[in-house]
Every structure is written in C-alpha cells, then in structure tokens.
Structure 1
Amino acid sequence: MEMDVFGKALLDYLNGKYTEDIITFSSLDEEDIIPIPYLFRSYEEMPALEQNALNLCRGAVLDIGCGAGSHSLYLQEKGFQVTALDHSSGAIETCIRRGIESTINSSILDFTRPKFDTLLLLMNGIGIVGKLSDLKSYLIHFKSLLRSNGQILLDSSDIIYMFDPDEAFTAYYGEVEFTMHYKGLASSSFPWLYLDYNILQNVAFECGLRCELVSEGEHYDYLARLTRI
C-alpha cells in the first residue's frame, strides 16, 4: 500500500507531534522543505494571490487537493458551501478534525458529481495533472464538474527561469518528478506539473474554456480563471 507521507505529517502536526518538516527531492536536482505549520495558515498569512482567489469564489466550491483544508475552512467560515477533496486519507482526516463539514477522499478523476460553481486549485493545484500530455483530459473533466456559469480558479508558476537560456529540452520543462520524505518515510516518485500561462490558455481554448490572467505573484506565479466559452 502506498505510504501517505503527506497525510501522516499533517496528522502529526494536529496531534502535537510536530518535530520536523517534509523534505522534497525533485528531478530539478533540488532539495526543498515544506514547512508543515504553513499548511495550517490563516487567511491573513496567505500570499495575496491566494487571498485574491478566495475572494473570487462564488456559489458551491470544490477545493481540489485541499491538503490541511485552510482554504476550505476559510470559505466555510464565510458561509460558502464548500467541499474539500484530496486523495490523501490523512489530509481528509485532518480536514474533518478541523471542522470542515463536507469532505471527499478521492482522486479528482474518480470524482464525477455533483456540479459546482467554483473549482479551486491552489498552491500550484494544477500540478496534479503531472504531465503536459494529460492537461487536456483533466481540463475536460474539470469542465464536466462545472455548472453552466461555473469557474475554475487555479495558480501555477512558469519555471523557465530555473534553466539556462541555451538549454535544449527533450520534454516540457515544467514536468518535474518529486519524492517526499518525512521521519524516515519516503513516498513513491510522482509527477508534478508547473505550467506556463500561454500553454494553459491554448489548451483551455481547445477544451472550450476561456482563460483569463487574473493576477501575477512575485515569484513567476500567476492566478488564472477559466470559464466556459
């Protein structure tokens, strides 16, 4: 059975057993840290791009890849009908214990109903696509979960700045492989996609979705809004 490293870290924090953070290793030959307390941040502690996305939410909201549920919790407290979805059982248990009323432990591709007014994918939530070749099928699936006037709010980053300008690519540079390590445990390697805005806009159009650049962050990141054409 796949070890739920991410979920264990969240539950440890919730249970007062926080002693270290998640370490990630990637195909970019980089080691990074996911500070677990940051996953439990309040609205005031969120970057402006995330605050902007939350302020744009409307109607029934599906928080895809909800993690510790900080976005869902904020929206619920504001009176939204919000559902927190994550494939990590530990993440969903964390959300339930934090008081989120509607949760779903599932892969987004296995989730087919009901429909929502807003699909929310934050903290590079579109990264779950993994490979650029799968982007179209994911966007079509997202579209199937939207009500007629629904919207998709997502953020990502263009990581071209991390490469030499003369570097030749054999695959899309935004496709990255990760593993997570926590307290001696390691996840299986998984793909994660960083998506430049132009490609998102082009593929969205192929799927019958209008793509709008809402705002840009300070670290080559952006917030986009997709709606039906």
Structure 2
Amino acid sequence: MSTDVFGMAIRDYYFSGDREGEIRTYSSLGEEDAFPIAYLFREYNTMPVLEQKALDLCRGRVLDIGCGAGSHSLYLQGKGIEVVSLDVSPGAVEVCRAMGLTGVVEADFWSYEGKKFDTLLLLMNGIGISGRVGRLPEFFEKARALLKPSGQVLFDSSDIIYMFDKDEDGEYEFPSPETYYGEVEFEVAYRGARSEPFPWLYIDAVVMERAAADHGFAFELVRKGDHYDYLGKLTLLGY
C-alpha cells in the first residue's frame, strides 16, 4: 500500500485526539463501508470473542503480524509475554512505540527475518495478506521459516460465501468461476487520502485445511464465530 492510510488515521487518533475519524473501505464486491479508527485501539474486554480466544492461546515468543495500533500486542506485553509487533506502516509503528510497546519492527511480513517464534498471530483476518489462494504456498513457506518446530499460527478469517446470490438451481453465482470467491480487491481511504487497490484473501476453513495439508501443516478449527467467521490454528505436521 503506497499511501499510508492506516498510519495517517492511527497517528491522528493518538497524537491529535481525533476520536471521530473513520476509515472507508471499497471492495471489488461492490461493497463500500466504514469503521471508526477507535476500533483499532480497543482493549481486550471489547474485542470479539475469537480475538480474545486467540490471545488466550498465545504462548512463548509471539510475532504479531500487521499489529496496526498495537491493541493485541499491548495486551500480550501486559501479560508478560514477549511480543514482536510487526507492521509495514510507519505511522502505526510510530504510535505503537509511543504507547510503550518495546518490540516494534517496521517491516513487511514477506521480507522480515528474525529469531524463531512460538506463535505467529494474524488477527482481523491477517491471513488476508496472502491476497490469493495461489500465494498460500509462499505463506506456508514463510511461516515455516519463522516458526519453532513446535510453534503455532493463530488466525481468524471468514467464509464470505454468504455475500453471493444463488441462481434458480440453488447454485452460487460467483463473478468468475476461475477465481476463488474469497479473493477480493480493496482500497482504503481516510480524509482525502486513498490507497491503491490491493488484494486481500478471505478463506473458508475447508480450503485452508486442504492447503495446509498440502504444505506440511495441520489445521484445527478452534472456534466458530457468529457469522461465517472462525478462529484457526496451524501447526507443523509431526509436532
């Protein structure tokens, strides 16, 4: 994302006290939506149940991938857990450091190299950074490089099949039969700044389980959410 939209919004909220701002999203599904920046600063007791469960399952040395405003990292650090907070956004990184996070790193997940971790954490559909089902092999390769042998990947995602209509035969009508329906193009905007389009992946549990097995990982559906969302765990096969 060439324009640091999230960073701008997070900086304004934290440093300027702008509590009314919101980030707008535009997707290839024809959906236009918005959410308050305050949502990125929520505390544990106001987080969705799936996020709370994921944080409860974190162990050892944790890599919080796409940490954003640092809400998950702050909770883990407060519990005495060693956490590296990773984000590509300079603005988000600046705010995370200002809030007292001690392990903040400004870097892209795909190029980041560090010590091995016990837990890779990807919340708010952080697994979406894969962008396409076809890039999942690269994700698994990177996860393997960052994980200790007995480590785990915790992530939440959604099966967005509910967003599509059915034809008269009861079959879902997808825009492109050749493309997985969870592959979405997004743009985000804040106060006149707008990102370039970027791919984002929503992956259902069945497809994830198959992809994981093909690349040496076991998949566990930890918990289902209230609306087609779920918390998943990946571990290396044999451990």
Do they superpose with TM above 0.5?
A: yes
* TM-superposed deviation, 1:20: 2.3
Residue 120 (structure 1) aligns with: 121
Structure 1 residues 58-137: aligned runs within 5 Å: 58-137=59-138
> Is there any run of 5+ residues in structure 1 with no aligned partner, and where?
none
Partners of 1:97 and 1:201 in 2: how far apart? 39
Secondary structure at the aligned position of 1:2 is classed as: coil
Q: How many angstroms apart in 1 are the aligned matches of 2:133 and 2:89?
A: 23
What's the CA shift string for 1:98-148, capped at 9, x where partnerless? Answer: 110001111111012211000000000101111110011111111110012
C-alpha separation in 2, matches of 1:201 and 1:14: 39
How many Å separate the matches in 1 of 2:219 and 2:2? 35
Hey, what's the Cα distance between the residues in 2 that align with 1:226 and 1:200?
Answer: 10
1:137 counterpart SS class:
helix
- Structure-1 separation of matches of 2:178 and 2:110: 28
CA distance in 1 between partners of 2:234 and 2:111 (Å) = 21
Tell me, yes or no, if structure 1 residue 143 matches structure 2 residue 144: yes
Cα deviation, residue 209, structure 1: 0.6
2:208 paired residue among 191, 197, 200: 200
Tell me the equivalent position of 1:54: 55
Please give the secondary structure, in 1, of the residue aligned with 2:110.
helix
Residue in 2 that maps onto 1:41: 42
Distance in 1 (CA, whole Å) between partners of 2:37 and 2:21 is 8
Task: Note the aligned Cα RMSD (angstroms).
Answer: 1.1
Task: Kindly indicate whether the alpha-carbon contact (under 8 Å) linking 2:4 and 2:89 is maintained by their aligned counterparts in 1.
Answer: yes
Give 1:20's aligned residue.
Answer: 21
After the TM superposition, which of the residue ranges 163-172 and 27-36 deviates more from structure 2?
Answer: 163-172
The number of residues matched between the two structures is: 229
**CA apart distance, 1:48:** 0.7
Look up the match of 2:182.
174
CA contact (8 A) 2:20 2:36 kept: no
176, 188, 195: which one pairs with 1:187? 195
Partner Cα separation in structure 1 for residue 102 and residue 6 of structure 2 = 21
The secondary structure found in structure 2 opposite 1:100 is: coil
> Which runs of structure 1 show a deviation greater than 3 angstroms over 4 or more consecutive aligned residues?
none
The letter for the 2-side match of 1:67 is G
Query: What residue number does 2:230 align with?
Result: 222
* Equivalent-residue separation in structure 1 for 2:74 and 2:101 (angstroms): 6
For the residues of structure 1 that align with 2:99 and 2:30, how far apart are their CA atoms? Answer: 35
Give the C-alpha shift of residue 86 in structure 1: 0.8
Gaps of 5+ in 2: none
> Over residues 69-101 of structure 1, what are the superposed CA-to-partner deviations in whole Å (9 max), with x where a residue is unaligned?
000000000000001001111111111111100
Residue 109 of structure 1 aligns to a residue in which SS? coil
TM-score normalised according to structure 2 size: 0.93
Structure 1 residues 35-92: Cα deviation after superposition (integer angstroms, max 9, x where no partner): 1001100000001110000000000000001010000000000000001001111111
Give distance in 2, aligned partners of 1:20 and 1:210.
41
Identical counterparts, % of pairs: 54
